[in-house]
Structure 1
Amino acid sequence: MRVLVMGGTHHVGRAVVEVALRRGDTVTTLNRGQSRPPAPGVEALVADRTDPGAVRQALGGRSWDAVIDTWAWAPSVVRDSAQLLAGRAEHYGYVSSRAVYAWPWPAGADESAPLVAGDPGSQDATDYAAAKRGGELAVAEAFGEHALLARAGMILGPYEDVGRIPWWLRRLERGGPVLAPGPADAALQYIDAIDLAAWMLTAAERGTGGAFNLAGPAGHTTIGELLATASQVIGSEAELVWAPAELLERENFPLGMEFGLRYPGNPCPTGLHDAGVSAALAAGLTLRPLRDTLADTWAWLQREGDPAPRPDTPSPAQWFDPAQEQHVLTLVRSRRGT
């Protein structure tokens, strides 16, 4: 296909470009041209997404088979791009989020769960959930049944710039006793950015539209399996010391929040890691093994170094206090009598 990626330099956008090139697609990107040089074989268009005139000039009168848009801020930017490309692209895939569902999320909820309010014309980017919902509405208005709304869960894998897996890999690399957010058998539901990209491109090729929850099946893995596999991947002999969620809550230590295992005042939130994803699985979603996700992330970190912290998302490195970790480790061990 001829694919236009709106973005294409960070996390999911970069994964989309990589997978599209691997598939043999012809890839064009549009971004500010300030983050990374374009990948070999990519046509890079430069424009500020917040300037509709600049976007119009950069795109010219061209057309594409599919557009993939990863924008996460003001919905009006998505609206302007979608309206501009209506009639010039066959398909518009928007990387949305499960955040568009009204909280608290019901356990096992599918795409019919209640949604937050959103305004496609809003220029407000302070409310992430409302912004993503507004972006969804903008794409749906412009592309109708040819709009694909990918409501991704927790996105892991190579190029992750939120700081979840990269931070944990570095912490395990340092070794020693490592405080871990228990219980070890707590379920984790995530989507690898590579799997997300591959599914969206295949969906575009097939003309699949509509809203889909994108994540692995509930119970696909656990926090214990993730951290144990991460240790194996990097060859770490770190000792995982599991702290109960209630203890972490009492000590005001946010460990575990990076994976959404708990929230302040709510040690065990429901609905976060057990979304209904049968629609996406029926539509061809496939999942790489967890080990591959972690190994690719580790290889990327070894090759390019740690990603720069995102200004809009606090990374674990910004809140993790080694002294507090040692304090909680002591508490855990005293409870065990060790």
Structure 2
Amino acid sequence: MRILVLGGSWFLGRAIAQQGVDRGWDLWTFNRGRSGQDVAGVRPVRGDRKVQSDLKRLADAGEWDAVIDTSSADFAPRWVLAGARALAPVSSRYVYVSTVNAYRGWPTEPLTEESELLDAPADADEEFGRDGPAATCYGVQKAGSERAVIDSYGPNRVVILRPGVILGPGEYVGRLPWWLHRAERGGTVLAPGAPGKTIQPVDVRDVASFVLDQAAAEYATGGAYNVAAPIGHETMGSFLTACLDATGSRGVLRWVPDQTLIEHGVRQWAELPLWRTSVGAWAVDSTRAQAAGLRCRPLAETVADTWAWLREGGAPVEHPRWVEHGIALEKEARILAALGQ
């Protein structure tokens, strides 16, 4: 297999590149070379997908069996469209990593691949959707990017993957690292909601494996897939217990009801990462992806391996979302004190 990864130097893109090399594939990457490091064994091409001459130079290096796009989170649909148009004549298929945020109903309702998507044109610019709720803009842009890829390749040559929360070694968002560092500190740990609450994070390495399978003609089944752990696979209780176990912490979980946290002004999804009360936040049907080969390892393994990565000096590529996560110790203490802890 001759594969081109747009990105390929950090987190999911890096995991894809590493696994592709491990499979013995001819793995190429395209990025600006400003963040992360190339995986040993890849063929890097430096360039900016916003620069037409760079795209032409990249296309001239083809052909590829598949293009895997992991780097478009910060690109408006019009840039995805330009890149897809340039690469369509020199590649057989396009695997686009989108997000569940592209659904109109996320996170307020359960989702399947048939759920309605947000609406954006394939050539939308960076400002499209910014006049609506801030939380929706990202999903609007990704929905437009999906359309850009399909318009360029046609539906039969495109695989759309819509992950929810991706965790694991190399994470740049900071959700799991925050919980691990909080567990390590010990003491009474404010645990959100109920321990039996189902959650659906998926390991970055499992996503990478599924992405590569969808890029390979002998495995690919095409279409769109929700990429999340099966509903009921893990709970908030099993996740936080794994954090305590991985760090060797003697901390004690103090479970606090959702309504109490809301009354104390705790910001969902951010101050206590992975905590969200919306009905659809962890109700993403991924049975189609499982039938196509998605396998999700136990979350405890993801937690332990991420802690090992951090202990070995692992550090993510600098990203502004890292500082968004985690409740201040003073605020946590105030809430626990109000509950008699």
With structure 1 as the length reference, what TM-score do the two structures score? 0.91
Distance 1:209 1:83, change over 3 A: same
**Residue in structure 2 matching 1:325, options 312, 322, 332:** 332
Q: 2:325 maps to which residue?
A: 316
**Residue in structure 2 matching 1:81, options 80, 83, 108:** 83
Counterparts of 1:60-75 in structure 2 under 5 Å?
Answer: 60-70=60-70, 71-72=72-73, 73-75=75-77
Q: How many angstroms does 1:259 deviate by?
A: 4.1
Cα deviation digits, residues 222-246 of structure 1 (max 9, x gap): 1110010121122111111111111
Q: How many angstroms does 1:10 deviate by?
A: 2.0
Counterparts of 1:1-338 in structure 2 under 5 Å?
Answer: 1-70=1-70, 71-72=72-73, 73-103=75-105, 105=107, 107-124=109-126, 127-144=137-154, 145-205=156-216, 206-254=219-267, 256-257=269-270, 259-262=273-276, 268-311=277-320, 314-317=323-326, 320-332=327-339, 334=340
| Separation in structure 1 between the aligned mates of residue 311 and residue 21 of structure 2, nearest angstrom | 23
Q: How many angstroms does 1:59 deviate by?
A: 4.1
| Separation in structure 2 between the aligned mates of residue 104 and residue 40 of structure 1, nearest angstrom | 38
Specify every segment of 5 or more residues in structure 2 that has no aligned partner in the other structure, as ranges.
131-136
Q: How many angstroms does 1:312 deviate by?
A: 5.3
Cα deviation digits, residues 19-71 of structure 1 (max 9, x gap): 21222222111111011231211111111122122222244242111111011
Say if 1:189 and 1:216, in contact at 8 Å, map to a contact too: yes
Say if 1:97 and 1:132, in contact at 8 Å, map to a contact too: yes
Cα deviation digits, residues 69-112 of structure 1 (max 9, x gap): 01113111111111111121112111100011113556443111
Q: 1:265 maps to which residue?
A: none
- Secondary structure of 2:145's aligned partner: helix
Say if 2:10 and 2:317, in contact at 8 Å, map to a contact too: no
Q: How many angstroms does 1:306 deviate by?
A: 3.7
| Separation in structure 2 between the aligned mates of residue 306 and residue 243 of structure 1, nearest angstrom | 31
| Separation in structure 2 between the aligned mates of residue 122 and residue 224 of structure 1, nearest angstrom | 41
| Separation in structure 1 between the aligned mates of residue 58 and residue 24 of structure 2, nearest angstrom | 24
Q: How many angstroms does 1:121 deviate by?
A: 0.7
Say if 1:173 and 1:234, in contact at 8 Å, map to a contact too: yes
| Separation in structure 2 between the aligned mates of residue 118 and residue 11 of structure 1, nearest angstrom | 27
Cα deviation digits, residues 96-139 of structure 1 (max 9, x gap): 00011113556443111111102211121652111110111111
Say if 1:117 and 1:133, in contact at 8 Å, map to a contact too: yes
With structure 2 as the length reference, what TM-score do the two structures score? 0.90
| Separation in structure 1 between the aligned mates of residue 142 and residue 241 of structure 2, nearest angstrom | 33
Q: How many angstroms does 1:153 deviate by?
A: 1.0
- Secondary structure of 1:86's aligned partner: helix
Q: How many angstroms does 1:211 deviate by?
A: 0.9
| Separation in structure 2 between the aligned mates of residue 161 and residue 104 of structure 1, nearest angstrom | 22
- Secondary structure of 2:117's aligned partner: coil
Specify every segment of 5 or more residues in structure 1 that has no aligned partner in the other structure, as ranges.
263-267
- Which amino acid is 2:330 matched to? A
Say if 1:186 and 1:223, in contact at 8 Å, map to a contact too: yes
- Which amino acid is 2:206 matched to? D
Q: How many angstroms does 1:255 deviate by?
A: 5.7
- Which amino acid is 1:167 matched to? W
Say if 1:181 and 1:245, in contact at 8 Å, map to a contact too: yes
- Secondary structure of 2:40's aligned partner: coil
Say if 1:4 and 1:66, in contact at 8 Å, map to a contact too: yes
Cα deviation digits, residues 196-218 of structure 1 (max 9, x gap): 11011111212332111111111
Distance 1:45 1:104, change over 3 A: closer
- Which amino acid is 2:115 matched to? A
